[in-house]
Structure 1
């Protein structure tokens, strides 16, 4: 593509200014939450505060914000004024420079952050140009709806995607909504390992995922090299990963015909918000496919950790065994689990033997086949990721507002249904089995019936299932392999997956949005959440000791800080382990404070 053919129509002055204004508003409110900046409250009227923060050079940031629960604020984007204003520096990057001037960020980290923020701003201009209205979105299919989302609500550099060029971005980013074909390679069985749940094997997976003519074509390609097809596994890969990592990192294996390019299959897939997960839109009953893509986005490289890829089917079997043998989860909650039922892993043989090698080089080649969401829905049900509930269209209408309107319920009734659909199964896995999902907006799939929350389906076990470090009887059945791979957490660490993963990372935004757009009290929202927890605890009194051990109603929690993670603690160092969420200070728990306030008022 020549430079004058580059798609640039969305890069207008108006789009850029709006994206920048929205980004600095997000940065201000999340940096206040994470205590990166501490602005001064100048005045307050009708619940709206006028704030001011001055950096060490004298630059002043003035803005209006509303106080929210969990020590948060909601910044009003069109109120932001920066003095002095520098025309050639975006407001959002001016704030980053100001924070660096406080001596808190290294030059290297600040420079890389500028790149991530600029990538994010470019993506935001694309989203503004092509986004649909909420009226249309409520009727959109699960896979298509993902392409309308705007990314992580908390991480400010949420579409950095370091490794993508602009051409890659326009081809492969989820908001581009372009179906892709997956490429396939043959990998010698000396290099690759295949793993699956008991009901499956390699041949069953390939017969489902590859049409017969493709299998014949691929076999003939191997035979043409005077090689035996039965000595190889067929494996899907992403074209970007092939070009940017596999050809060079596995050149020796390609030279020895231990790895052979086969071509593309006919099925079409849409990338989801994680970029590396793909939903088959031509044959929806086929597996969702998760592939490594060595780009840096949000906090980590989006590869596939080998040890977790190998163990994923066993994790699936463990989680499903709990579900299948627990009537509360299976019959009352009607929880769904999208099992990671088959996987393949290929280690790069040199990096595997390099002590302390950066983790990105240990996650280069693998695949996870996940059960299709469509096979778990009745004809009257439709699915959306929980993240969709905090989406606001370019006219300012929340997606959730349209769902509530079409449901015919009041906001309170709808929120009650939502909380009832989500919380009980998550609480039961934690309290009864000492096991947690990471129930953030992408991993939690909300099932709707007539626009009303009905139940949930959980996904992403390979990365995000964690267990208690306490000697619980229910965990004694875990194999040695599972225990060595799954992260075990102390009691507060385990509860953080619900407290931070669901409450802070999602409900915090949803409750604020409903108060702002639907005049539904944020306090009432959290009362409903708390009542659901209490209701569960009353239902299972025999777990009283565990309610105290995994206490979701305590006054404060350790504050996890996702922006600090990159900005101060990890930077862009290429460590041997994936970075974990940073901790800084404590956060007041609204589930405790609303009860205290109620008691005082009485």
Structure 2
């Protein structure tokens, strides 16, 4: 710890987090500093009391956003300046201005402290952007610095420091999963057509392990045919399952089998794991009852149960559609099997806190490696926001190695990513939430080549309009998939991709003078318009799901925790807050195209 936690790293991490706080809280209209323009920069002053104020500089960006320079931040108390920059002290200073309760501010301080500690660890191990371009998919996931928008992005309430060192994605420590047997009367297994539990586990477990588990049950006088085998995470086993499922353990409804032999690396979400023993084996998604970036990282029971049916529906659309199948060649790693175990008590409790309904389950997702062709490489889309300690963005390294000009690379990116997302939306009234964590960019020669989208369980939504393409959905799917009005559905791409991801990519490129901000968004507008010209028969839906409207409802992620939801333990997961409108720079390109 001494090699990581030292003054220089702590001060750097605090300045960066404070700059992020100023930028995002201004974006979400929680603070309104005084500002003036000087020599192309904005100079800000934010009084927080009669004797204390902050000064900082930055640049205005599109989407009502700001790029704040960490080294410009000054803290002034009384008549002097030069106070150290502390992100947690800034949080306390902002409490009365934002209107946080003491309870919320206290819990949030805890999340900030954990986030800062993780940030100094990341500083100690940071790789250059050039180095990152050569990492395999599962290792690149561990280099990411967290949600670009949420300021408390590595709070991980529930982990102690030892847990952090063992299980945090950025620690990149391989882990083995524990396995349990659950009596079939206590669990629900479901899979895509043609797959049963035995066939799945034959793919996931070596024969010796399979037989070892059978033998363990036999020694206890139990029949393996009466049980499902499922993996659990070591942290969840020690901190949740033993305590909360003790009766099931006492009566052999759940039986501990021991450790598996395969090793895994955690992905950005912490609860999803890539197999490093055999990359073609499934990725495994497991509940971990820690609070991180707004929600407990469990597995919602109803969505776990229906995951294979959602997979068949989403993949079926692409299989039947020549544009998605043959032109886009979109990749959809499916959640092909799942097991859910309801708690015998909490499941009977009306309006139980949602965290207690998500404690034990497993989802098996197809590995991205089973889809990659020769010379294709997969990267998490989140990597495009990465900037190394020399200020060089990861995207700049890819552009250089591709041999393309920045505008060419970016145009190819948009023409790869947007068409399949737009086609699902316009043609089928179905939308993904294509943020950086859920989206995979497949490269060829370091340039965008194909799109992959994962995590259908939590992030597929459908239109509330009477589209004939949605008429055949089963009652179960309609019950679980959230239906949204037109703007709500548009928001999954507008906010999930444009605001939550692309505005950070744009800022990184603009700072390095790789492209102008205007051209960055003009190329996006062109990709949308190119798709629309290809499918003029969908014109009515282009107006319905309008990406060129002057303003859309502003969705806020920090405001949700800090003002609206706090740390309530409700029956439903919190969703983004709505507050005001965000200016849409794409609107100006629509006016140009029609003139």
How would you bin the TM-score normalised by the shorter chain? over 0.9
2:96 to 101, 104, 128: 101
Cα contact 2:189–2:340 (8 A) shared by 1: yes
Distance 1:201 1:57 in 2: 68
- Equivalent position of 2:54 in the other structure: 61
- Equivalent position of 1:485 in the other structure: 480
Cα contact 1:523–1:594 (8 A) shared by 2: no
Cα contact 2:59–2:68 (8 A) shared by 1: yes
- Map 1:309-388 to 2 at 5 A: 309-388=304-383
Question: Alpha-carbon deviation of 1:247?
Answer: 0.4
- Equivalent position of 1:442 in the other structure: 437
- Equivalent position of 1:453 in the other structure: 448
Q: Does 1:35 align with 2:29?
A: yes
Cα contact 1:186–1:259 (8 A) shared by 2: yes
Cα contact 1:109–1:572 (8 A) shared by 2: yes
- Map 1:241-320 to 2 at 5 A: 241-320=236-315
Q: 1:109 to 1:88 in 2, by over 3 A?
A: farther
- Equivalent position of 1:78 in the other structure: 71
Distance 2:545 2:404 in 1: 33
Give deviations 1:184-229, integer Å, cap 9, x for gaps. 0000001011000002110111101111111111111111111111
Distance 1:87 1:171 in 2: 38
Question: Alpha-carbon deviation of 1:166?
Answer: 0.4
Distance 2:203 2:593 in 1: 59
Question: Alpha-carbon deviation of 1:55?
Answer: 1.7
Distance 2:473 2:463 in 1: 12
- Equivalent position of 1:17 in the other structure: 11
Cα contact 2:406–2:514 (8 A) shared by 1: no
3-state secondary structure, aligned to 2:70: strand
Q: 1:112 to 1:224 in 2, by over 3 A?
A: same
RMSD: 1.4
Cα contact 1:315–1:482 (8 A) shared by 2: yes
Question: Alpha-carbon deviation of 1:56?
Answer: 3.7
Q: Does 1:418 align with 2:410?
A: no
1:473 to 465, 468, 472: 468
Give deviations 1:371-398, integer Å, cap 9, x for gaps. 0000110120000011000101122211
- Equivalent position of 1:512 in the other structure: 507
Q: 1:594 to 1:21 in 2, by over 3 A?
A: farther
Cα contact 2:304–2:457 (8 A) shared by 1: yes
Cα contact 1:560–1:584 (8 A) shared by 2: yes
Distance 2:3 2:510 in 1: 36
Distance 1:78 1:280 in 2: 40
Cα contact 1:67–1:74 (8 A) shared by 2: yes
- Equivalent position of 1:590 in the other structure: 585
Question: Alpha-carbon deviation of 1:595?
Answer: 5.0
Give deviations 1:243-292, integer Å, cap 9, x for gaps. 11000110010000110110011101000000000000110110000000
- Equivalent position of 2:532 in the other structure: 537
Question: What is the aligned length?
Answer: 593
Question: Alpha-carbon deviation of 1:429?
Answer: 0.1
3-state secondary structure, aligned to 1:182: strand
- Map 1:56-205 to 2 at 5 A: 56-84=49-77, 91-102=86-97, 104-205=99-200
- Equivalent position of 2:384 in the other structure: 389
TM-score by length of 2: 0.98
Distance 1:191 1:89 in 2: 56
Cα contact 1:401–1:518 (8 A) shared by 2: no
TM-score by length of 1: 0.97
Distance 1:586 1:88 in 2: 36
Gaps of 5+ in 2: none
3-state secondary structure, aligned to 1:467: strand
Distance 1:518 1:243 in 2: 50
Give deviations 1:493-514, integer Å, cap 9, x for gaps. 0000000000000111111111
Question: Alpha-carbon deviation of 1:599?
Answer: 8.8
Greater shift in the superposed pair: 390-399 or 577-586: 390-399
- Equivalent position of 1:4 in the other structure: none
- Equivalent position of 1:528 in the other structure: 523
Gaps of 5+ in 1: 1-6
Cα contact 1:56–1:101 (8 A) shared by 2: no
Greater shift in the superposed pair: 15-24 or 98-107: 98-107
Q: Does 1:219 align with 2:211?
A: no
3-state secondary structure, aligned to 1:337: coil
Question: Alpha-carbon deviation of 1:91?
Answer: 2.1
Question: Alpha-carbon deviation of 1:326?
Answer: 0.5
